[in-house]
Chain A
């Protein structure tokens, strides 16, 4: 019943399903499940509970790609791959809860706690809107199949 399986490659979607483009991570995982694209990797929807990422940072995990909405100052819909140490968070959060938390802080915690962090990258997608509401904005919705293909290629082809 382990939540990880041997040498698994994980595609993890983070975000709030009900906050427009913040849902890009969970929506991508949903799209992959609907289209039967989950082959050679596991697609996991962590939604608004990024602290559970820690459960997957273990020797059985070969590689992780996290898909998340990211404000990077680019055109809405832009997609950028980066590693945690390529960026600096702009969030000013002295505490940590799962809601106000920042996955970058959770990775900091993992490092401090000496977790074995497998090769891990982010696929950041620039939002148009993060207002309350179900449904991606048009620039992101129209590119969902493209994002899925890019993510699968990155995770399994690299």
Chain B
């Protein structure tokens, strides 16, 4: 069908930060099809120069208000590698528990507040209060659970204070962990209802397959979130592994004229990071309950529909919930030991990676002999997804034109596609902008 289309979405809503969508087609011929990120660079790598190693994670945690736990963990891990610090098994367990809290929290926010309005045909979560009040109430209960869970382990859930190089500045007590277990157990009905809701809405998720490369952390003994090596899998199942310290070899950052953010690529022209990438790489290591959830929601590896990233997030909500119950039980059984901080044994260069809600996150620092930071580098997952979003646009727009989609319909599908990646383009300012009415 010959169609003329003009779409210009400036400041796409319900994503974190500022991104633009532009599509122009005349008589069915596509002239422009572009995903652009116009946000100003934020220079965190410069801000850490000259800072003591004990301060660096405090600064880089501020990169994001949603993924601040992940930034703290990636930063501390990179510093620990540079300083020759090997943390204790208890520290690793507690940090994994904290990582689960963040992914659970962020996924609940994305699934219920940012993606569900699209599936229910609402402009935002607000109209859903009247029509689906119990669903919104459930989302808020789950968010609160994650807030309490993260606060217990991290001191606070936004910009955690207890995670420091070498271990923890404050540990939870066994009694507090027993309290957390009780709260987790009380969330079983909400978790089951979440699955039911997503299953009921899954028919509204668009069908669109575009095979690409999927990159995530991979560990031999667990569904990797806190630790592991880098792994990428192609649609035919071919896998490649990279050491975290060699992350530049698999991210290959480059500049594009349309965006201020750097783009990345590896074995193909683009790759995807995030829940779907983790699922495609590590599905065999999901908790059995999460595997059941995947079966119930019909998600199978290797899934190449980017819209189903939201479904993969739901599966990870189930995984984080059950794996956290396991970790809490184990910590209660072993008891919490007061451990001193592991001290530095050298000062050099190190890299760390964790899986934040939106995908694999890399931090790297180098330190001088006094432990002062000489330089840093952070590659966030949203930037790793930009080239893939552009690739999706280039495949989806001709398909939609072929299907005879209306301009409005096409705009919605493209917006939904970007939102499915749950991008966190930058933490913008939050100031109030008001005028007085009395």
Contact = CB atoms under 8 A, between A and B. Distances in A.
A132 B129 contact: no
B179 A1 contact: yes
B227 to A, nearest CB: 25
A136 to B, nearest CB: 13
A71 B147 contact: no
Contacts of A17: 62, 159
Secondary structure at the B interface, as helix, strand, loop or mixed, is mixed
Nearest to B159: A47
A96 B124 contact: yes
Interface string B31-64: 0000000001111100100000000000100111
B428 A90 contact: no
**Most central of B68, B126, B129, B429 by chain A CB within 10 Å:** B429
B434 A89 contact: yes
B59 A134 contact: yes
Contact of B47 (A90, A101, A130, A134): A134
Interface string A1-41: 11100000000001111110110000000000000000000
Nearest to A131: B40
Given A3-B147, A113-B140, A134-B47, A22 B13 contact: no
A124 B147 contact: no
Interface string B416-438: 00000000100111111111111
B196 interface: no
**Most central of B109, B156, B158, B435 by chain A CB within 10 Å:** B158
Nearest to B177: A1
23 contacts: A2-B148, A3-B148, A14-B430, A16-B430, A17-B159, A18-B63, A22-B430, A47-B158, A48-B430, A52-B143, A55-B144, A72-B436, A88-B435, A89-B433, A89-B434, A93-B13, A97-B113, A99-B430, A102-B430, A104-B434, A112-B129, A124-B434, A134-B59
Contacts of B140: 54, 113
B434 A72 contact: yes
A77 interface: no
Please list the 4 inter-chain residue pairs (A to B) with the smallest Cβ-Cβ separation, ordered nearest first.
Answer: A48-B65, A95-B13, A95-B14, A87-B434
A152 interface: no
Given A96-B113, A105-B126, 18 more contacts: A14-B430, A69-B432, A72-B435, A88-B437, A94-B13, A95-B114, A96-B126, A98-B109, A99-B17, A99-B427, A100-B16, A103-B430, A109-B126, A112-B126, A127-B431, A130-B431, A132-B41, A134-B47
Nearest to A21: B431
B156 A45 contact: yes
A73 B431 CA distance: 13
Interface residues of B, number: 60
A102 B126 CA distance: 13
B301 interface: no
B429 A16 contact: yes
Contacts of A50: 430
B125 A109 contact: yes
Contact of A68 (B65, B109, B172, B431): B431
B15 to A, nearest CB: 7
Interface string A50-86: 1110110000000000001111110000000010011
Contacts of A54: 140, 143-144
Contact of A49 (B113, B130, B158): B158
B409 interface: no
A75 to B, nearest CB: 15
Nearest to B156: A45
Contacts of A87: 432, 434-437
A96 B431 contact: no
B176 interface: yes
Contacts of B41: 132
Contact of B428 (A16, A51, A95): A16
B133 interface: yes
A15 B136 contact: no
B354 to A, nearest CB: 19
B428 A99 contact: yes
Contacts of B231: none
A153 interface: no
